[in-house]
Structure 1
Amino acid sequence: MTVQTPSGLVYACLTHVPLWIEFPPYVTPLYMGQAQGEGKLNLRDLAPEWEPHHAVLGGCVGSFALKNLVLKQYPEATRVGVCQYRKFISRERISGVAEPSYPVMDMVYKERLAGDVFARVLDPGDQPLLISRPLPLPKGATVLTQYKGAHHVEDLLRFVALAVELGVLDKDDVEPFFDATVFFPGGIELGVYPATFWLQHITGIESVVRACVQTHPQPRSGYQTRAWAFCAERLGSYLLLKHLRSTEPTQRWIKRLGGMQGIPSDKRCIGQMNVITERDGAGYTLGTSGPGA
């Protein structure tokens, strides 16, 4: 059963494997793939249309299931939190050990989260928003050029075209979307968000992903299997950036994106992205061709 805290927070952990660390009591697992079972919150029950696509979309479909859960059971929720079985956003740095291949993410050995530590660092307090520091793109790079270098650029072009057709993006959003130099890892699928913002935009992202899998049902192979999930992450990042620009004075949010120094931990919207490791010093492998969160 999902726990809604007195502060109106519904927090879920998306996982396709049995959890190998105990999460705080205010975080409830949402299971996908082979981890689903009787008496659990399952993808197949919350969003059955997406279960066949889990292998292609990964944790993205878990966010769609969470959206359905909040709308049906927690319409009064004021915030929605999302983490994964090994990735989460904390209010402060825990290990201070950055993942070499992903500089905005720290590696945290699971034993460091023992006792009440995990519950304390994961708790967003009263903050309506808690997100990762943005991933710095190479000098001169944009979201479009970065995607082109790592993936099939035509997928992103198709995705954005459908987003405009469906009204998720305005035609005037296209150029700033492609030209963005700020990229938030996870888009709006990792962290804590105001419920109205998150529900609106995850619904929009879902509609675009649905159109993509319907018009291009044959997935790519290997690492590129997750093409639409990669595109959804970038759309979420842009919608988050647009939200920040509309709600915060420009200089203020730019300063806040720089890090956490000088801002009390209970007042930060920029937190720390972490990956939990089973062994001290273990690294993290980016991407997968199989089902995952």
Structure 2
Amino acid sequence: MIHRYCISHTTPQLPSSWYDRCIALGQFQPDSDLHVRQLDHYWHEARPVAYGAAGSYVLPIAIRKFSPQADLIEICSFRKRILPYPAGVEAKIFPTLREFDLEYALAEDDVASQFSWEPGSGFLVAQPLYFKNTVYRHYASIYRSRDFHDYTSIAVEMNVLDSCSASQFLAAKHFIPGGVELGIFPRSWLVDVLSKLEAVGRVFLERYGYRVREYDKYQVRAVGFLSERLGSFLLIRHLMDIYSNHIPADVFGYMTVIVNDGSRYSAGLGDVESDRPDRFRLKIRNGK
């Protein structure tokens, strides 16, 4: 059985039939039992710097309360979802992303199977990207490298990483957009990983929130960008452990964004390459 959660700050652009419950942020559905304020007031107060990550961080609480019998959990957002097959058209500026005109698709009756599918593997995540100069160096070229190092140190301090896996994290070249915050995952595994990311994110903001709050409106979301990258690392490592370094291609779906009236998605990611071979081969092994 799968339970589907949408994390959003306003009425999602996704059809309501694509999710079961909505984790509400900000002024959206303030009286809902699933509003972030009701689940963890800390993350409600921290939302001006955490943005959507605040919803991801309270998701373990929601899952324990409302989805105790679920085997799988799906996470989607305001207008993004991982689909098992390519819908719409490829985005021109964001590798592996697809733009899906919902009105056109509904007129074609082309969405019926997209919200009832469950992966046999237990996982459906975005296609991986490959960075020649490491995920860390790409992050540092756009954001602040100091944050990455401080965040990694906290992860080691809290036993989410050890010295070996921290080095692997800094040297990683593969990145799954969305990390563990977009896609389908086994319930117990997801709760465990998101709880770890929440703990690291909380300490990071408690220690360094004073400087993060001085960043511009894009850089201020540092904790969300960082948890996406650590989540991706933990996800890839877990998949490698399951599949002996040969991850089946059907674990990887298509990150899809809803667009309206022929509009295009706008986001800057930098110069990266997509990586979707028949089997996903990596060299990183083990580590805490």
What range describes the TM-score normalised by the shorter chain of this pair?
A: 0.7 to 0.9
User: Gaps (5+ residues) in structure 1?
Assistant: 1-6, 257-267, 288-293
Q: Quick one: which of 195, 203, 206 aligns to 2:187?
A: 195
For residues 210-225 of structure 1, what are the structure 2 equivalents within 5 Å?
Answer: 210-218=202-210, 219=212, 220-225=215-220
| Equivalent in the alignment of 2:125 | 131
1:93 aligned residue (76, 86, 95): 86
- Rate the CA distance shift 1:284–1:60 in 2: closer, same or farther, 3 A: same
Pairwise mapping of residues 1-293 of structure 1 onto structure 2 (< 5 A)? 7=1, 9-24=2-17, 26-39=19-32, 41-95=34-88, 97-114=89-106, 117-127=110-120, 128-137=122-131, 140-218=132-210, 219=212, 220-250=215-245, 252-253=246-247, 256=249, 268-286=250-268
* Range 79-88 or range 57-66, more displaced: 57-66
The Cα shift of 1:286 comes to: 4.8
Q: Does the aligned pair in 2 maintain the 1:275–1:284 contact within 8 Å?
A: no
2: CA distance, partners of 1:170 / 1:10: 33
TM-score normalized by the length of structure 2: 0.86
- CA distance in 1 between counterparts of 2:56 and 2:217 reads 23
State the alpha-carbon separation in 2 of the partners of residues 37 and 119 from structure 1.
Answer: 31
Q: 1:20 to 1:125 in 2, by over 3 A?
A: closer
Other structure's SS at 1:207 match:
helix
Cα deviations by residue, 1:133-155 (Å, 9 ceiling, x for unpaired): 01232xx3101211111111010
* Aligned amino acid, residue 255 of structure 2: M
**Residues 54, 174 of structure 1: alpha-carbon distance in 2 compared, 3 angstrom cutoff:** same
- Using the alignment, how far apart are the partners of 1:82 and 1:213 within structure 2? 24
Q: Is the CA contact (8 Å cut-off) linking 1:11 and 1:26 kept in structure 2?
A: yes
State how far apart, in whole Å, the 2-side matches of 1:281 and 1:39 are.
32
CA contact (8 A) 1:130 1:269 kept: yes
> How large is the Cα RMSD of the aligned pairs?
1.9
From the superposition, tell whether residues 55 and 248 of structure 1 become closer, same or farther in structure 2 (CA, over 3 Å).
same
Separation of aligned partners in 1, 2:67 and 2:18: 17
| Identity in percent | 27
TM-superposed deviation, 1:64: 1.8
Unaligned runs of 5+ in 2: 270-288
TM-score w.r.t. the length of structure 1 is 0.84
CA contact (8 A) 1:24 1:119 kept: no
Q: Relative to 1, partners in 2 of residues 1:276 and 1:196: Cα closer, same or farther, differing over 3 Å?
A: same
Give the deviation of 1:88 after TM superposition.
Answer: 0.5
State the 4+ residue runs in structure 1 displaced beyond 4 angstroms.
Answer: none
Q: Distance in 2 between matches of 1:119 and 1:32?
A: 28
Q: How many residues align?
A: 264
Distance 2:220 2:31 in 1: 29
Q: Shift of the alpha carbon at 1:124?
A: 3.4
Task: Name the CA distance, whole Å, in 2 between partners of 1:279 and 1:286.
Answer: 22
Cα-to-partner distance string for 1:11-55 (whole Å, 9 max, x where unaligned): 101110123442216532221012133346211111221001112
C-alpha deviation, 1:186, in angstroms: 0.8
- In structure 1, distance between residues paired with 2:105 and 2:180: 24
